[in-house]
Amino acid sequence: MSYQGNTNYVNLPDTRMALERAAFRMGARDVSKCKCKIDYTEFNVKELQDLNSVEMQYDKLQSILENICENEGIDKLNIVVNKLVQSDDTKLTYIVPVIEYAQDSSSDAIVKLIDNIDSFAVFGDVSDACELGEAVINASPEYNIHIELEDYFDFEKYGEDVDMEWQGKYLDGNIYVAIKDYITLEEILRDDELCEEQGMQMPGM
């Protein structure tokens, strides 16, 4: 954080009070008066790779967080980082692909996506229906196919059926993302306050 030539480093996530104190030490009356810049991003988690062959995309995550810092401010950044830190380590690799799938990297959207991360199916090393079918089968113990029978199974057709049901997207980097639960992206990202207001205005409610 910086204000009128003064700089104070903070480690996020932190409390609102801690941010206010950092701003006050630089002479700012409010956190919103300060400029913020991310010096580095680091998550104290095990080597993250490999849930469904999806690697952690640190550079893209850093860019997303920098965009929030620059355009929405440190308060919103703090909220997102807090959510990320609280996330299940095994699902942290999903965050960037899910954001790219949603095509919305605002702080409010990211919070909602993280809250609903279990509703998403994310597979790496997948660029077509055949690879998708094989990935879904491999990730589903109940559908375990004996190696000697794999040549007789139509992975491509199964992948096409799965994609038709899920209506997913093939992303750059050979990643496939879809919503596997019976919920839409619009429902995940909708404005809860607006929905509540609309619900209150409905006749007969």
Instruction: Using the predicted structure, report yes or no on whether residue 177 has a pLDDT greater than 70.
Output: yes
156-167 average pLDDT score: 95
Token pair in block for residue 38 = 């991310």
- How far apart are alpha carbons 110 and 99 in whole angstroms? 7
Note if the pTM is more than 0.85. Answer: no
- φ, ψ for residue 201, nearest 5 deg: -90, -10
Q: What is the pLDDT of residues 24-44, one digit of tens each?
A: 999 998 888 888 888 767 665
- The pLDDT score that the predictor gives to residue 128 is 97
Q: Render 82-122 in DSSP notation, one character per residue.
A: HHHHHS-HHHHTTHHHHHHHHT--SHHHHHHHHHTGGGEEE
Instruction: Using the predicted structure, report yes or no on whether residue 65 has a pLDDT greater than 60.
Output: yes
- The pLDDT score that the predictor gives to residue 145 is 73
- The pLDDT score that the predictor gives to residue 76 is 94
Contact 98, 63 (CB under 8 A): no
**Mean pLDDT taken over the chain:** 85
Predicted confidence band of residue 181 (pLDDT cuts 50, 70, 90): confident
Question: pLDDT above 90 covers what percent of the chain?
Answer: 57
**Higher pLDDT residue, 58 or 169?**
169
Instruction: Using the predicted structure, report yes or no on whether residue 106 has a pLDDT greater than 80.
Output: yes
Q: Render 38-71 in DSSP notation, one character per residue.
A: --------S----BTTB---HHHHHHHHHHHHHH
Token pair in block for residue 118 = 């279990």
Q: Which of 40-54, 55-69, 136-150 has the lowest mean pLDDT?
A: 40-54
**Higher pLDDT residue, 166 or 52?**
166
The three-state secondary structure class of 127 is coil
Contact 79, 107 (CB under 8 A): yes
Domain ranges of the chain: 1-35, 36-40+52-191
| Closest to 178 (Cα-Cα) out of 129, 105, 108, 107 | 129
Handedness of CA 171, 173, 174, 177 (dihedral sign): negative
